[in-house]
Amino acid sequence: MALDLLIENCKGLVQVRDQLTTCVSGKAMSDLPILADAFIAIKDGLISDYGPQSNSPAIAKKVIDATGRFVLPGFVDSHTHLVFAASREEEFVLKIKGATYEQIAAAGGGILNSAKKIQAISEDGLFQKSISRAHEIIRTGTCAVEIKSGYGLTTKDELKMLRVAKRIGAETGLTVRTTFLGAHAVPKETTKPDYIKLIIDEMLPAVAAEKLADYIDVFCETGFFSPSETELVLETGIKYGMRPRIHANQLNNSGGVQVGVKVGAISVDHLENIGDEEIDLLKNNNVMPTALPGAAFFLGLPFPPARKMIDAGLPLAIASDYNPGSAPSGNMPLMISFACIKMKMTPEEAINAATINTASCLELLASHGSVTKGKVASLIITKPVNSLAYLPYSFGSNWIESVILNGKIISQLVC
Ligand code: NIG
Ligand code: FE
């Protein structure tokens, strides 16, 4: 029974966990287990074995020599909006000239701008636009991704987005988890109470009937949805079997963390505007705080207080928020650099945050997030580098040489 793929002479096999474990919190976030001078074997798309190079099996259908290179588990990006119809660089220029995110949104730009474009495009057209982004994130090491709706804002267009998200998973090999985010913005032609009624009476039953969403999300923010509106929508989603996650405390300290804890959200995401009260509340709760450093960077917001959260014993996840308005990049290596440079996380903490902790908040720990026997063989092989810290240090450069997705070599770039 020959192996399908053998990666030999790895300088370090990163995030090796012999046993299935939970997410990592507090001090444990700085523990990133690395097996030096190692091999890893792949069979039927799964990790079948690994260990010291001296124990490497001799034969496999294909062998890669990883001398001088680290091998990491693929990234799990637990927060994206990568299904969208068009970019929004015109708003980017307005922001450079001084407009704020809220001003652009209030003038009909922002999410409503993206909604117009989604409503005008066919499902196939939307798939074609979005799949190139999926291929792009695979090349930068993402192997599992959460994709939200929220730019449809009508029942048919929200369903269209979620169908496209599912199709991306089926056609690329990316593991995709979907989230219904109908409560992302209120369309101009309706009122908020009427729109919330539409979400509850029409959208949620339709999404559930087609089994299109694993999760439900709300943009809980001043000018968007209040904590009590957020709670109502999330509680209704829970009744349809969707676990809640929230856009919380991005632009203001708007009470999103409190709602997240109250409804038992799986994660509260953004957190640019939280204080000690929110950090205290997150202790002793099973809610994963998630930082989206690409959005904080792009909008010039304060970065979430990662150090404070980790030092308080909390876990932390890092995701990209890939979307056309506030984070037009799904590049997880760049997010890890931002985490280290702007949020003072160590390279070990940042890699844990973008692998095992994001896998935990997408309920994918049985298959993703670490190098563990039986998990999917979705791996990153780096270029030859001196040390692990070189990866976040060399921000913006491509340190990935090859990506293996479910045991299949996706790209072998020339160094
Ligand atoms: O996560 N904050 C709300 N949603 C997105 C941005 C959406 C947009 O501007 O298109 C975010 O940042
Ligand atoms: Fe988002």
Same domain? For 9 and 57 the reply is: yes
Same domain? For 283 and 173 the reply is: yes
pLDDT of residue 415: 37
Q: What distance in angstroms lies between residue 120's CA and the mean position of ligand 2's atoms?
A: 22
Same domain? For 46 and 81 the reply is: no
What residues flank ligand 1, with Cβ below 6 Å? Answer: 81, 110-111, 114, 219, 247, 250, 295, 321, 323-327
Sign of CA dihedral 264, 269, 273, 274: positive
Mutate to test the pocket of ligand 1, among 79, 89, 326 (most ligand atoms within 8 A of CB): 326
Same domain? For 68 and 206 the reply is: no
- Rounded to 5 degrees, what angle do the CA atoms 186, 163, 323 make? 55
Same domain? For 210 and 286 the reply is: yes
Q: For 319-355, write each residue's pLDDT tens digit.
A: 999 999 999 999 999 999 999 999 999 999 999 999 9
DSSP string, 72-109: EEPEEE-------S---HHHHHHHHTT--HHHHHHTT-
Q: For 164-218, write each residue's pLDDT tens digit.
A: 999 999 999 999 999 999 999 999 999 999 999 999 999 999 999 999 999 999 9
The two structure tokens encoding residue 232:
């109502």
Same domain? For 233 and 294 the reply is: yes
Same domain? For 310 and 227 the reply is: yes
Number of structural domains found in the chain: 2
Q: What distance in angstroms lies between residue 394's CA and the mean position of ligand 2's atoms?
A: 26
Q: What distance in angstroms lies between residue 54's CA and the mean position of ligand 2's atoms?
A: 46
327: DSSP letter: B
* Range(s) of the domain holding residue 405: 5-73+370-411
Same domain? For 328 and 296 the reply is: yes
Same domain? For 125 and 212 the reply is: yes
- Average pLDDT of the chain is 96
List the residue whose alpha carbon is closest to atom 11 of ligand 1.
Answer: 326
Mutate to test the pocket of ligand 1, among 111, 112, 217, 299 (most ligand atoms within 8 A of CB): 111
Residue 133 in this model has a pLDDT that exceeds 70:
yes
